[in-house]
Structure 1
């Protein structure tokens, strides 16, 4: 067992590193390309950057579906959605709660995210995410993006456009994310088997945190620079991508059964818990960030039977 874990850990670490760097390249290139269409910072965060930082979840889930690991795919979506709020946004709130005040201008996107998570939870009641569910989710996602994009075009440029370099960064980032995702899924599956841990728990914890690292890096950097709209837009946009687009794509590839609705309910609870982050009081935002970090630690501990 130990030899199998030792052999898988380097692949796991390399996979995560490729995911992080690949997503970083994709975000940088995609942001530059978005300048040509003069898109607002909040919308760039919700769409271009959110898609870039959600690429790991997308490719990991497609890889998991292709490898007939539906529990890993579902766990990744549930875990990533929870981690984006209770880990990534919580860290942002603790480090720079003032930056979240700017994010209050994107409450429409927050409402869209909540609606997407509710739709995900309702579809989960059917007991399986299958072809009809996947088509429904992708249709809802396409409609949402079309409406938000038409409402979010502005005249000022908010990022530097670097021409052909943006294209190369975007393409190279995508390749790195695909390779990193494959390594992550393969190594995580072997580790789960070695320790007798269910693929769902591995997906909710190790894989979810690994694929959420790009969101953490991007949102924290944006918050430190005072770009709260991008930081918040990245989180709520990534969650919307995850529960509608990523899960919709995976459901079309392979039916994904819902083993435990309790974890979906937990995800719904953490999604609603995003609202106090936009309190008018800085102390409330920072305090709620600490509460969410403790809640996230408790949830992971419960999954592994530590609490």
Structure 2
């Protein structure tokens, strides 16, 4: 279908799908915040599971579709590039929250734990690269490990929520999680909330498929690098829900939800890799991609470590009323983009 469209219509379709993703993400934030209170999971876990997974659905479809079409680099870089972009979005949210450093005010042990898990998950593709190019049921062995680690981390997060062994120091700037009913006083059917949530997820999935198809066509017609398009174009566009939902959550005062949504979305994004690996029919996905793709793996690890340090240090105020880690995240991401563009231009 997209093969018949002109370049102008391809860009228009790409922009329309991005706009729908943007609008849907705003509504998802409110639903996730309310469901966090109804289910008793808390904002951090709901951010990691409900918000993280739902806003990442479009990116999942992009990676799977690209892998099915044989575009290994596009599938891989879309996942990892999205993690880097979304981590930078947390620094943007810190700029929006003016009372104090976001990582200080939204202190939550589960988010720290999830960041540690994310570093481990991001290290696994590098492990796959050092192992032989073997497949089991058309999947590299590492692709079996990633989902197991992810699911195990969710059970561990629930245990931390129910029986925390560490607690952050509460300061006047620390924002505590408050039930949605206490803030708004309203109460709607939980079933209707869930139906709306699932409906928005479906819409975002369809938009993700459209973005993948238009991006692959644009890449071919303009003779662009799949790695560059995946890491900077499709990854950024499919990560727009995270930007919208994070800023929306910050404005609602749901700071743990905002931070958990980014970190949880990033951990969920690592599941793109085994999904793309099983969809890629020409061997191990990890050995089919270029070093440019692994460049973004290293950048994502460095950015996550910086964020983790900020979550532990909890600087109350820093340069431009944001934390030092937020400034570093923006600098690292901008520098990585510049390096990639200059390398491609040379």
Q: What is the TM-score when the length of structure 1 is the normalising length?
A: 0.87
**Which residue does 1:201 correspond to in 2?**
228
* 1:224 equivalent in alignment to 2:251: yes
Deviation at 1:200, TM superposition (A): 1.5
Kept in 2, the 8 Å contact 1:88–1:216? The answer is yes
Instruction: Please say which of residues 265-274 and 177-186 is displaced more in the overlay.
Output: 265-274
Matched residue, 2:89:
88
CA distance in 2, matches of 1:301, 1:38: 43
**2:246–2:259 Cα contact (<8 Å) kept:** yes
Structure 1 residues 304 and 22, CA, compared in 2 at 3 Å: closer, same or farther? Answer: same
**Do the aligned partners of residues 288 and 29 (structure 1) sit closer, same or farther apart at CA in structure 2, a change above 3 Å counting?**
closer
Tell me the residue number matched to 1:259.
290
Deviation (angstroms), 1:165:
2.1
Separation in 2, partners of 1:266, 1:13 = 27
Whether the 8 Å CA contact 1:60–1:181 is kept in 2: the answer is yes
Taking a change above 3 Å as real, the CA distance of residues 26 and 92 of structure 1, as seen in their structure-2 partners, is closer
> Cα gap change, 1:59/1:153 in structure 2, threshold over 3 Å: closer, same or farther?
farther
Q: Compute the displacement of 1:288 (Å).
A: 3.8
What is aligned with 2:267? 240
Indicate which of 304, 312, 318 corresponds to 1:283. Answer: 318
Q: 1:91 to 1:184 in 2, by over 3 A?
A: same
Counterpart in the other structure of 1:158: 179
2:207 aligned with 1:180, yes or no?
yes
Aligned to 2:170: none
Match in the other structure for 2:141:
132
| Structure 1 residue aligned with 2:59 | 57
Residue correspondences, number: 302
Higher normalized helix content (fraction of residues) = 1
In the TM superposition, residue 239 of structure 1 has moved relative to its aligned partner by 1.0
Shift in Å, 1:45: 1.1
Q: Name the SS for the 2:315 alignment partner.
A: coil
Q: 1:127 to 1:264 in 2, by over 3 A?
A: farther
Q: Matched residues in 1 for 2:246 and 2:6: separation?
A: 35
- In structure 2, relative to structure 1, the CA distance for the partners of 1:38 and 1:205 (3 Å cut) is same
1:29 to 1:288, Cα distance in 2 relative to 1, 3 A:
closer
Change (3 A) 1:102 1:281: closer
Report the RMSD for the aligned CA atoms in angstroms.
Answer: 2.6
Partner SS state of residue 39, structure 1: coil
Please give the secondary structure, in 2, of the residue aligned with 1:273. helix
1:153 to 1:26, Cα distance in 2 relative to 1, 3 A: farther
| CA distance in 1: counterparts of 2:269 and 2:157, whole angstroms | 17
CA distance in 1, matches of 2:35, 2:107: 26
Alpha-carbon distance in structure 1 between the residues aligned to 2:260 and 2:338: 29
Mapping 1:23-34, distance limit 5 Å: 23-34=25-36
Deviation at 1:136, TM superposition (A): 1.2
Q: Could you say if the C-alpha distance between residues 99 and 191 of structure 1 is closer, same or farther in structure 2, counting changes exceeding 3 Å?
A: same
Separation in structure 1 between the aligned mates of residue 36 and residue 106 of structure 2, nearest angstrom: 20
User: In 1, are the aligned partners of 2:102 and 2:323 still within 8 Å (CA)?
Assistant: no
Alignment map for 1:3-18 (pairs within 5 Å): 4-18=6-20
Are the equivalent residues in 2 in contact too, given 1:59–1:177 (CA < 8 A)?
Answer: no
Q: Choose 1 or 2 for highest CA Rg.
A: 2
Contact 2:306–2:325 (8 Å) recurs in 1: no
* Unaligned segments of structure 2, at least 5 residues: 164-176, 182-187
2:106 to 103, 108, 123: 103
Separation (CA, whole Å) in 2 of partners of 1:37 and 1:275:
27
Aligned partners of 2:91 and 2:329 also within 8 Å: yes
